[in-house]
């Protein structure tokens, strides 16, 4: 499963910038709709486009691996989740 780390990136950016970063402000800056950002941040296993990943990489000035990570199914199942 792919896990998105958007919440972590937002938290790190808030700390660095010293101000609150909202999904609305990210949506405005990237052109990604706010409901899509909300799903990326909060829906386990959400499937989004590479275009959205590219926009988030540009916004956060980071690599793809900073936005998402691979989590083996065994680890997910170990947390009581179904695959």
Whether 81 has a pLDDT exceeding 70, the answer reads no
Residue 29 lies in a domain: yes
pLDDT in tens, 41-50: 999 889 999 9
Residue 83: inside a domain: no
On whether residue 66 sits in a domain, the answer given is yes
What CATH number did the domain enclosing 34 receive?
A: 1.10.260.40
Tell me the HSE value of 58 on the side-chain side, using a 13 A CA sphere: 12
Domain encompassing residue 18: 2-78
Is 38 within 8 Å of 7 (Cβ atoms)? no
Domain assignment present for 45: yes
In a domain, residue 22? The reply is yes
**Confidence label for 83 from pLDDT (cuts 50, 70 and 90):** very low
Q: How would you label 38-70 residue by residue, b for 16+ Cβ within 10 Å and e otherwise?
A: eebbeeeeeebeeebbebbeebbeeeeeebbee
The H-assigned helical ranges of 18-72 are 23-30, 34-42, 50-60, 64-67
How many structural domains is the chain composed of? 1
């Amino acid at each position: 499963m792919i896990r998105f780390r958007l919440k972590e990136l937002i938290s790190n950016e808030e700390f660095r910038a010293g101000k609150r970063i909202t999904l609305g402000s990210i949506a405005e800056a990237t052109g990604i709709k706010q409901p899509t950002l909300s799903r990326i941040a909060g829906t386990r296993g959400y499937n989004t486009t590479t275009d959205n990943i590219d926009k988030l990489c540009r916004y956060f000035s980071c690599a793809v691996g900073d936005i998402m990570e691979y989590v083996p199914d065994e680890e997910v199942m170990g947390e009581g989740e179904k695959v």
